[in-house]
Amino acid sequence: MEEQRARQLTLGVALSEGHDFANFVPGRNQPAIIALRQLASGAHGPLIYLWGGAGSGKTHLLGATCAEAAVGGRATAYVPLVSHAELDPAMLAGLERARIVCIDDVHAIAGLKIWEEALFHLYNEAESGGVPIAVTADKPPLALPLRLNDLKSRLSAGTVFQIRELNDSERGRVLAARAQARGFEFPEEAVRYLLGRGPRDMHSLMSVLDRLDAFSLSEQRKLTVPLVREVLIAAGKLRR
Per CATH, the homologous superfamily of domain 2-162 is P-loop containing nucleotide triphosphate hydrolases (3.40.50.300)
Helix-then-strand count for the chain, H and E: 9, 5
pLDDT at residue number 110: 97
Taking each helix axis from N to C end, the angle separating 188-197 and 202-219, rounded to the nearest 10 degrees, works out to 130
pLDDT tier at 2 (50, 70, 90 boundaries)?
A: very low
Give the mean model confidence (pLDDT) for residues 38-46. 86
**Which tens digits make up the pLDDT trace of 73-122?**
999 999 999 999 999 999 999 998 899 999 999 999 999 999 999 999 99
Q: Is it true that 2-162 and 168-235 share their CATH fold?
A: no
Angstrom distance (rounded) from CA 212 to CA 84: 32
CATH number assigned to the domain with residue range 168-235, chosen from the 4 options 3.40.50.300, 3.40.250.10, 3.40.50.720, 1.10.8.60: 1.10.8.60
CB atoms within 10 A of CB 57: 28
* Bridge partner list, 135: 49, 103
The domain ranges of the chain are 2-162, 168-235
pLDDT at residue number 1: 40
List Cβ neighbours of 225 (8 Å cut-off, separation of 6 or more): 189, 190, 193
Length of the chain (residues): 240
pLDDT at residue number 18: 63
User: Is residue 134 within 8 Å of residue 38, measured between CB atoms?
Assistant: no
In 27-151, where do the E strands start and end? 47-51, 76-80, 100-104, 133-137
Q: Is the pLDDT of residue 226 over 90?
A: yes
